[in-house]
Structures are given as C-alpha cells and as structure tokens.
Amino acid sequence: MNKLYRAEILSNKAVGRGYRRMKLKAEGIGKTAAPGQFVMLRVTRNLDPLLARPFGIFSTVSGNIIEIVYRIVGRGTILLSDAGPGDELFMLGPLGNGFPAVRKNAVPILVSGGSGFPPLYFLASKTRKRAVVLLGAKSEDCLPPKDVIGGFKKLSSQVRIATEDGSAGETGLITDLLADVLERRSMKGEPVVYACGPNAMLCAVSMIAQKAGIECYVSMEERMACGVGACMGCSIHMNMGGYSRACKEGPVFDSREIRWKQP
Ligand code: FES
C-alpha cells in the first residue's frame, strides 16, 4: 500500500564513484517495501523541478527507514545531493510490483548493469546468501561504490565483476559473465535470473535466459513522470500486443512478456 509521506532525511553521504547514499525516515515504509519497488521523491521542497523522480529502494534499515543510492547525473540529483539531515521531502511509495519472491530451491542470479544495482541489493538481502551477483559497467568508475560491492559480497555466495575496458574485474560484457555462469551450471538448484540496467543490456540478458530455458525477471528503467499509472509516459510494448506501464504493472516483468527492440 503506497502512501504520500513527508520524509525526513537522516543522512545523505557521498560514497564514491559519484554516488550518494541517503537514509529517509517515513512512518511504516520499511514494513511494506519489497525488493524491486521504488519511491517517487520530490528533490526539493518547492515546485522546481516540477516532477518527482523515481528511485529504486536499496534497503530497509528498519520499519520506518529506507535507503536509496543514487548517482549525481543531472539537475534533479544535483539538487538532491544538496539536501541534508533534518530536511524533509515529499515521497510517494512504495510503488510498483517488485520482484517475485525467490523460491526455496532456486539459485537467484542477479545481473546489474551500470547504476541498476539498488533493487538487486535489496533482493540479495532476502536470499540468505544464495545469490550469484554479476556486476557490469563500461569501466571501473561506473561500477557501484566500493562499500556497496562489499555489501553484495556479504549477502551473496559469489560476486563477479566485468568491465568493458578491463579496468576492473574480468574484461568484457556482463552478458559474457551470465553466459559463462549458465554454461557451467555448477550451482545447486534451479537458476532464475533477476536483472536491472539499461534496456539494451536487459534485452541481451533476456535472450540468453530464453535460449537457456531459464526464468528471467527484468526491472525496467523507464523514464517516469507521475509514477502512479496516470500519464502513460512509461509505457512498454508487450508481446501479447498493447502496452503496460512500468510504474504500475511493473517495473518488474517476466522478460518473455516484453516485445524487445533488438539492436
Ligand atoms: Fe506516468 Fe508511469 S510514469 S504512467
């Protein structure tokens, strides 16, 4: 059940690689938030910028506190980075459907591209160290912050990193790592892929999973204006025809449901 909150910022710390980690206090939100859900946050107390921004929930610290981790990439996040402890922001959430619960006999393979890691971090925290985590980026400075990677290592059975330029981890695409993990099939249990990142990456991940006959859930990073299903700005073309809204029916979809535009 989502709610409009006046959320209090408890902290908003720089954590490296251009990211900030923000703790927000809002009565009861941590009790209802699930991995894969997001909040719409108005980045200032006034109406400029007019639209709230979507942020995937990174963790629940307690029943009343959630965390987001965001990269400073434009005016909205620059303004957000100026906010400090004690400031209050309007926040709507938790929104969206979230990832389906990880089954007992499944081995979750979490695939993150670029800054797509926050919802997967939350999911990893619910897998009792069963997850295999694959983190990919163009280069080392585009990877998640070091303390986030350290957190993934504590929450997972295995973490592998790939960068396209070879500046950290293995050289290549995140999809190369996924193909390698699925080929080896050394895990005990049925692999299920959960992915978040740029659409081209999600499309490639989806194709690999389909070829291997493996379930795959993708969290779509569409631009969102309202976040509540009213504007149709986040529409996604579906395989059965018609459109679904990333903010309302998603952001998580079974990858087979999406009509991918293959590059
Ligand atoms: Fe408006 Fe999804 S953002 S319908």
Q: Report the separation in Å between the CA atom of 250 and the middle of ligand 1, taken as the mean of its atom positions.
A: 10
Q: What angle do CA 66, 69, 72 make, to 5 degrees?
A: 140
pLDDT of 188 reads 78
pLDDT of 43 reads 78
Can you tell me the distance from the alpha carbon of 187 to that of 110, in angstroms, rounded to the nearest whole number? 14
4 lines ligand 1 (CB under 6 A): no
229 lines ligand 1 (CB under 6 A): yes
Q: Report the separation in Å between the CA atom of 126 and the middle of ligand 1, taken as the mean of its atom positions.
A: 28
pLDDT of 48 reads 67
Can you tell me the distance from the alpha carbon of 144 to that of 70, in angstroms, rounded to the nearest whole number? 10
pLDDT of 263 reads 65
234 lines ligand 1 (CB under 6 A): yes
Instruction: Let me know: does 89 contact 83? Beta carbons within 8 Å.
Output: yes
Under-50 pLDDT residues of the chain: none
pLDDT of 47 reads 67
pLDDT of 2 reads 80
pLDDT of 177 reads 95
Q: Report the separation in Å between the CA atom of 261 and the middle of ligand 1, taken as the mean of its atom positions.
A: 20
pLDDT of 169 reads 96
- Ligand 1 atom with minimal separation from the 225 CA: 3
Can you tell me the distance from the alpha carbon of 207 to that of 71, in angstroms, rounded to the nearest whole number? 28
Helix axes 117-124, 146-155, angle to 10 degrees: 30
pLDDT of 203 reads 96
